[in-house]
Amino acid sequence: METKTLLILLAVVVVYVLIGGAIMYGIEHSNELATQTSASSTYVNFTGAVGSCVTADQVRQFVTAIIQAYDAGVLVTDTQTSASQWDYASSTFFAMTAVTTIGYGNQSPATSGGKAFITIFGLLGIPMMALLLTGLGEKLDGLLKPIKDKVFIKDKERLDQLLKTLILILLILVVMCFIPAGIFAAIEGWSYGDAVYYTLITLTTIGFGDFVIGTSDSDYRALYKLFSCLWILIGLASVALLLSNIQDLYKRTGPEAKAENQDNSEVSAEKDKVENAKESKDPVKA
């Protein structure tokens, strides 16, 4: 993909995700605020009545309200609720996880409008993101050309290609997983092992949702989530590059490649026989 085309596609996808985040914010944030207010009120009323007799209906209403709030991503205490899941940064992060198919599952639209929009948004955005990741992967491949062109093991192409692929895997793991994991562990308070697990689950788009960055409130939460979107974009492009190189390795060294090389050798040997036969029949030149 040409650089100009890639830059245009990158700009389109970035604007698309930012607009998607803004729309999701507009749809879901007001509903989230209403849920927070209702759940907090229910909590205060219920805990205030605990000293006296509480009816079964009151308990049922309280449990229902808390469950509904939890499903909407709102955790309620006596005076506070959890950090917003539908502020602009969180909405943009959600849009990013939608078009990259990561889909952690810890956050989902609660309104009919939000559900309808994200469905259409994903259907249009996923193909664009796939094209972008392919283009970025090609550019990253160009940056790694010095490694790919270098011959590490002479006269043994299969081992040489395997070694290059292993070097690529190690580079991607260090740059896109192990180093970011240290940053996430420091910010989120996770163990380093959990942080590595999160990076791998994210960049393979498995996205279980048991670990998600930016769920706690902080002064730099918005900037943190937006930079995480950039990490996801580059990381997924790196994974696409890795998969492409593994596929290329298989084509060069797999059973089909062996069969093709054998066929070529047989054809070459047959041609040599024909040429030798022709030379033996030709009269000797003076």
* pLDDT recorded at residue 286: 43
Domains and CATH numbers, the chain: 3-275 (1.10.287.70)
Going by the DSSP 8-state scheme, the letter that residue 177 receives in this structure is: I
Q: Given this model, what pLDDT does residue 228 score?
A: 95
pLDDT tens series, the chain, 286 aa: 889 999 999 999 999 999 999 999 999 999 888 877 777 777 777 666 555 666 777 777 777 777 777 666 666 655 555 678 899 999 999 999 999 999 998 888 989 999 999 999 999 999 999 999 999 999 988 888 887 777 777 777 778 888 888 888 999 999 999 999 999 999 999 999 999 999 999 999 999 999 999 887 777 888 999 999 999 999 999 999 998 888 888 887 766 656 555 555 555 666 666 676 666 666 554 4
DSSP codes of every residue in 207-254: --SSS-TT-S--TTHHHHHHHHHHHHHHHHHHHHHHHHHHHHHHHHHS
pLDDT of the residue at 249: 80
pLDDT at 185: 96
> Hey, is 50 helix, strand or coil?
coil
What pLDDT is recorded for position 205?
A: 94
The answer to whether the predicted template modeling score (pTM) of the entire model surpasses 0.85 is: no
Q: Tell which phi-psi region holds residue 84, choosing left (phi > 0), alpha (psi between -120 and 50) or beta.
A: beta
C-alpha 162/C-alpha 168 separation (Å) is 10
Please count the other Cβ atoms lying within 10 Å of the Cβ belonging to residue 143. Answer: 9
The one-letter code for the residue type at 94 is: F
pLDDT of residue 143: 84
Quote the CA–CA distance of 66 and 40 in Å, as a whole number: 9
Q: What is the pLDDT of residue 90?
A: 92
What is the predicted pLDDT for the residue at 212?
Answer: 93
Name 198's Cβ contacts closer than 8 Å, sequence gap at least 6. Answer: 181, 184, 190, 211, 212, 213
pLDDT of residue 217: 75
